[in-house]
Amino acid sequence: MRNSIKLGVAFLSLVAAACGKVGDSNDEREPGGAAVGSGGASGHGNPSTSGSAGAAASFGASAGTAGSAEPVATNWLGSPIYTRVARLTNSQWQHAVTDILRLAGPSNLAKDFELAAKGATDFTNNEQLLFVGARQFTDFEAAAEAAAALATGSVSALAALSSETTAAGFVRVFGKRAFRRPLTADEEMKYQRVFAQGESLYGAGFGNGASLVIRAMLQSPQFLYRSELGPAGEPLNAHELASKLSFWLLDTTPSDALLEDAGSGKLDTIEELEDAARQMLEDPRAVSVMRDFHAQLYPWDLRWPDSFAGVPEYTDALRAEIAESSSRFFDQVFTAGHGLREILTSNHAFIGPNLAPLYGLTPAPGVVEARTLERSRIGYFMQVPFLLFNGMGRDPDSIHRGAALELNVLCGLLSVPAFVPPPLPPLKPNQTNRERVSALTDSCGFSCHRDHVNALGFAFENYDGLGRERQTDNGLPVDTSGRYSLTEGVEDFADATELMTILAGSNQAHVCYAKKMTSYALQRDIVERDAPFVETLAKVSGSESIKELVISLVKAPAFRLRDGGSP
């Protein structure tokens, strides 16, 4: 695990240097120089790659005429563990504790938990990151004690926790809620003894017994882990499915009602499982889950790097507005029943007083509100948040704009450069940014820049580093035209608008989106053996909404069966 992280860090450092990226010494970086971001993002909002994918692969493109390179195949590299015991994420732990203890509001008990290391995997809920070391052990122990104190510290809190008045009743009811299944007879006896010990140690009183039971159960593997034990290939039981579904779509433990349904056989068919999933997708908590998915896939809430220093438009208020604008855009795509096509081509955006000048909108709204943009600026990748976070001060960062699409929209894989060239030099007289980047990266000896990364990034040359539209660069006309080799064939485009339209209809883009969603849902790397399943999901993505993509995934054997990891 540590070796894969180090390999990813070294790889990203080389890629950033090879791309001619101006160094940002105060970026949020992991030890070794790679900046924090989704799946190993380098720099401020720069693209991601799975650390487990390794660094040896390249695009497989040979030198030649621009656009003549072989298409970039979907990257299926990864190192899944296929764990049968998935530890709850910090967020899942927090929400589950709040719900099973019936707390009045978020307790924030997980705020100081050690965070999952970013950069090793595409998403921070990946199985490879969810271990329990010495720090996590201490975190869970202290938080369990604090949670028990909150739940039993007052008459009203204890009354909200349970209406049971006997040790046996409390253990049975709370135990089912905490372990997400009915307790066995042996477990009931064990925790009744724990209840009695609580009264013995801390004095007679229902709260003292209940408190010790809560502390013990919240530190039990039965609570801390979501298990799928049993022979590979067999269906998950109803309680396991209830937990898997709820923790994915709502980021919390199953409700009492869902556990009752599981116990009474109401989740035994695919149709009943689908009904449960559809109900969850209409829950506001599902909106937050999908927001987290997109925020990790296309990171937008990162710390300002040094390249933004001295640019007056960069303020904390603008940063907050970018986060709100991006969140609300993806929230709307999800809740309105849209999908990847709208992410790539929608002309709806959310704009407030700080973003409006960058869009050239007057008068500026007083608060962030929905706006319809001109059709010359479509999709999330032509909105200011993406363009600005992939900018270098006032200059566009064509390399990382292109690499973000290559990695996160088309699931390609950058190669390790043969050497480390110098950073981008200042613009020369009568030289455009496109010419400057081409001159530097062509010397790398890899056509991946010319035919893939640069080809995509140059489509956005009509936007400066702030995401403002421009017609000239250094006094010369901008050139946004390009050619890109998708798996379906070579596509020519005049600008980013045409490129986004092409990608929206590309099977390659929908395969990538389905692959990312599957990784987030199953909490593991998605590899070659998963390709047929993911390609089936891509057909759903190509014609349906995010919600229908989720439903198709829930109904699939990959979600419903115990996975042993064998082909």
Give the C-alpha separation, 103 to 166, whole Å: 21
What's the pLDDT at 176? 98
Note the pLDDT tens digit of each residue in 127-167.
999 988 889 999 999 999 999 999 999 999 999 999 999 99
Indicate the pTM of the whole model.
0.87
Q: Which of these ranges, 286-295, 298-307, 379-388, 507-516, has the smallest mean pLDDT?
A: 298-307
Does the pLDDT at position 53 exceed 60?
Answer: no
Read off the pLDDT band of 118 (50, 70, 90): confident
Does the pLDDT at position 429 exceed 80?
Answer: yes
Return the DSSP state at 29: B
CB burial of residue 233 (10 Å; 0-12, 13-18, 19+): exposed
Does the pLDDT at position 565 exceed 70?
Answer: no
- Would you call 489 helix, strand, or coil by DSSP? strand
23 and 420 Cβ atoms separated by less than 8 Å: no
Does the pLDDT at position 44 exceed 50?
Answer: no
Label the pairing between strands 476-477 and 225-227.
Answer: unpaired
Find the helix packing angle between 398-408 and 433-441, rounded to 10°.
Answer: 70
Q: Which of these ranges, 13-27, 227-241, 301-315, has the smallest mean pLDDT?
A: 13-27
If you average pLDDT over residues 303-329, what whole number do you get? 84
If you average pLDDT over residues 371-390, what whole number do you get? 94
541 and 93 Cβ atoms separated by less than 8 Å: no
Does the pLDDT at position 36 exceed 60?
Answer: no
Beta bridge partners of 87: 225
Give the C-alpha separation, 261 to 342, whole Å: 36
What's the pLDDT at 107? 78
Among 68, 59, 71, 62, which Cα is nearest to 487's?
71
- Return the percentage of the chain with pLDDT > 90, whole number: 70
Read off the pLDDT band of 302 (50, 70, 90): low
Read off the pLDDT band of 65 (50, 70, 90): very low
Give the C-alpha separation, 311 to 308, whole Å: 6
How high is the mean pLDDT of the chain? 85
CA atoms 442, 447, 450, 452: torsion sign = negative
- Return the percentage of the chain with pLDDT > 70, whole number: 83
Max CA pair span of the chain: 86
492's enclosing H/E stretch is strand 489-493
Read off the pLDDT band of 106 (50, 70, 90): confident
Give the C-alpha separation, 83 to 127, whole Å: 7
Beta bridge partners of 85: 227
What's the pLDDT at 280? 98
Domain ranges across the chain: 85-227
Residue 141, C-beta contacts closer than 8 angstroms, at least 6 positions apart: 219
350 and 383 Cβ atoms separated by less than 8 Å: no
Q: State phi, psi for 478 to the nearest 5 degrees.
A: -80, 150
| Number of Cβ within a 10 Å radius of residue 265 | 10
DSSP string, 76-99: --------SEEEPPHHHHHHHHHH
Q: Which two tokens stand for residue 455?
A: 């080809």
Does the pLDDT at position 34 exceed 60?
Answer: no
If you average pLDDT over residues 63-85, what whole number do you get? 75
CA atoms 406, 412, 417, 420: torsion sign = positive
If you average pLDDT over residues 95-107, what whole number do you get? 92
What's the pLDDT at 138? 94
Does the pLDDT at position 528 exceed 90?
Answer: yes
Give the C-alpha separation, 107 to 97, whole Å: 9
If you average pLDDT over residues 193-199, what whole number do you get? 96
Whose tokens are 């996160």? That residue is 408
Does the pLDDT at position 418 exceed 80?
Answer: no
What's the pLDDT at 421? 59
What's the pLDDT at 69? 63
Q: Which of these ranges, 16-30, 108-122, 193-207, 427-441, has the smallest mean pLDDT?
A: 16-30
Does the pLDDT at position 47 exceed 70?
Answer: no
518 and 530 Cβ atoms separated by less than 8 Å: yes
Q: Residue 195 to residues 147, 176, 419: CA-CA distances in angstroms?
A: 16, 16, 65
